[in-house]
Amino acid sequence: MNKILTFSRHPKVLQVLVLLFVVGLLTSLSLGIIPINNSYNKADKNSLCILSEGKCELSLTEGTMTVSIAGQLLTEEQLDIAVTLPDNLTITSARIEGINMYMGVIPVVLKQQGNNEWAGWFMLGSCSEPQMQWQLLIQLNGYAAPVSVRFTTTQK
């Protein structure tokens, strides 16, 4: 009287299990429980900086890079940014992207103020997330990948 459950005798059981697995996997990916291997997760530890208290310092081969954003990080308001680079480095481009929600690409125009000083401004859009994670990607001359500066905004 030993009844063994085999999938060949019960193909519906196999179909239900596969369906449950696929639904669970897709749900985990969409909620961020399982990280998708994308550009946000490939940041080299030497090119990632977490902005806290308005300032971030990053050690590069050429020296220290400093990024500062004046004032409180608020959406829908102008935010001024200053970047100090080591000698012989220049910024070729800069942009901001949302991490936990796609918000498009926000260009950041940085103008050279002195030998190693750059300044500019940007404005972040508002979204439905109570806390939004962002990354400022700064492309430096001679660097294959951009330097990533991450920060968080909270809704007012």
pTM assigned to the model = 0.66
Structure tokens, 88: 């012989």
Q: Express each pLDDT in 16-30 by its tens digit.
A: 777 777 776 666 555
Q: What is the DSSP string of 52-114?
A: BTTEEEEEETTEEEEEEE-S---TTSEEEEEEE--TT--EEEEEEEESSS---EEE-EEEE-S
Share of the chain above pLDDT 70, in %: 74
Pairing of strands 117-123, 131-140: unpaired
Q: What does the pLDDT read at residue 31?
A: 55
Q: Express each pLDDT in 97-118 by its tens digit.
A: 998 888 889 999 999 998 899 9
Angle CA 105–106–109, to nearest 5: 130
Residue 124 banded pLDDT, cuts 50, 70, 90:
confident
CA distance linking residue 56 with residue 53, whole number of Å: 8
Residue type at position 83: V
Tell me the pLDDT of the chain averaged across its residues: 79
Q: Which CATH class is domain 39-154?
A: mainly beta
Residue given tokens 């009287």 in the structure block: 1
What contacts 41, CB < 8 A, 6 or more positions away?
A: 35
Residue 76 banded pLDDT, cuts 50, 70, 90:
confident
- What ranges do the domains of the chain cover? 1-34, 39-154
